[in-house]
Structure formats: structure tokens, C-alpha cells
Amino acid sequence: MNSITPLELKSKIDSGEDIQIIDVREQHEADICSIGGELIPMGSVIAEVDKIRKEGTVVVHCRSGKRSAAVINALSTQFGYNNLLNLEGGILQYADDVDNSLERY
């Protein structure tokens, strides 16, 4: 599975690169803090798979990286995705490395 560090993601965002960010956490988690991704909770991903690009860079994240890794594995295996990157350490690592104003939970 391919991954991206929080600092690499921030660099891509800052450079204006066309990236789709998918947040697979639950709504109550996204209400606490967000990095601006499209919220598709893990349990809804298969039903909403048409919202996830099959081309270009797609970064999938959750709180720590475990749920997003499971989602990427499922999408790769069941739907043939090969453009998905897992955000290493999830939003918690992003908060540590990039934006310490994000609330940790």
C-alpha cells in the first residue's frame, strides 16, 4: 500500500496540486477537527464508491491510519483502485507535524 506523510500532503496542498482527500472517520469525529477532506465514513465507502476518483491522487485518512488502510485495501481489491494513498498516522500525525491547532481526540 502506498502512503503519504502529513508534510508531503501539506506540500501538495500548498502547491495547488489537484488532490482528492477522503476522510473515512465518522461525522462526530469530523466535527472535532478536519483537514478539509470529503467525509465518507468507513461504513459508507462501498455504497459511495462512485464519489472516489479512479484517476489522479486520492489521499484517504482517518484518525490514526488504520481504518483508512482497511478502506484502501478493500477499494484496491474489490474495485481495482491503484491511485490511493494512505495518510501516515492519520489526522493525529497531521496535527503533530503540520497543524497543531487541530484538536486531538
What percentage of the chain reaches a pLDDT higher than 90? 99
Helix (H, G, I), strand (E, B), or coil: what is residue 53? coil
Low-confidence ranges of the chain (pLDDT < 70): none
Residue 59: the pLDDT is 98
Fold category of 3-97 in CATH: Oxidized Rhodanese; domain 1 (3.40.250)
**CB-side exposure of 55: number of CA atoms within 13 Å?**
0
Residue 52: the pLDDT is 98
Residue 38: the pLDDT is 98
- Rounded Cα distance between 48 and 74, Å, is 13
- Rounded Cα distance between 6 and 97, Å, is 7
